[in-house]
Amino acid sequence: MDLTIVKSHDGIKGKLLEINVDKKSIKIIFTWHALDSMRDYDISIETVLEHLLFAEEIIRGHGGRFIAHRKLNDHLTRVVYEYEKDHITVVTFYISYVNRYFKGGIYEDKILP
């Protein structure tokens, strides 16, 4: 899968990215909180984009949010996101243990077909 960041700029809520993936254009906002969490874990925005768009599992969270899971060795990356008007907002990111949250590969949402 070909993933390219086309535009990036800072806004009030966070960093807005326009990305192209498989000939599809997607707008994603990473909240300042999510960016701080990514820095704490020393994970790049490109890696989190891959984990969000090419997740091994996506489950339903609270309040209409979704959580994208992808295994990272014995751990699990969790990208919490929600849909807003014309974009996706990544609310937070963190790493946990696989056996705590991974349900076996279910998809309750898919950003890409």
Summarised one tens digit per residue, pLDDT across range 37-48 is 999 999 999 999
Residue 93 lies in a domain: yes
Calpha distance 4→49 (Å, rounded): 10
pLDDT value of residue 107: 96
Q: Which residue range forms the structural domain that includes residue 26?
A: 3-101
| 2/70: higher pLDDT | 70
The domain tally of the chain equals 1
User: Model pTM?
Assistant: 0.94
- Report the CATH number at residue 50: 3.30.2310
Mean pLDDT of 23-27: 93
Summarised one tens digit per residue, pLDDT across range 67-112 is 999 999 889 999 999 999 999 999 999 999 999 999 999 999 999 8
